[in-house]
Amino acid sequence: MKISAWIEPFRPADGPPPRTLAAFFAWGLSGSWPAMLLATVLSVVAGVLEVLTALMLGKVIDVTTDAGPDGFFVTNAGLLTLFAIFFIVIR
């Protein structure tokens, strides 16, 4: 099924528009709820990934300022591997 078929733009209305705001939004968005739900879920996932990005980058920066250059990669191999996997695979 094509994404463009999720919303029928020329579907006849189910009667006249309601007079209250919430009822009007429900009336105007009827038929588009699956697309709206998918957009909401994808936006939440993208937001969570952005927050995780900032947290992980901050952690790596903290580790680089705390440790000296000697043995940096050996000491922080787990964190750097997790960082790389997150940016290459997950994000």
Half-sphere exposure of 90 (CA within 13 A, CB side): 15
Residue 2, CA distances (Å) to 6, 30, 35, 78, 84 in order: 7, 19, 12, 42, 34
Calculate the average pLDDT of the chain. Answer: 88
Q: Which pLDDT value is given to residue 44? A: 97
Q: Which pLDDT value is given to residue 52? A: 93
User: Quick one: how far is CA 39 from the chain centroid?
Assistant: 9
Structure-block tokens of residue 89 = 């695979």
3-state secondary structure of 91: coil
Asked whether 28 and 17 are in contact (CB, 8 A), the reply is yes
The string of pLDDT tens digits covering residues 15-48 is 899 999 999 999 988 888 888 999 999 999 999 9
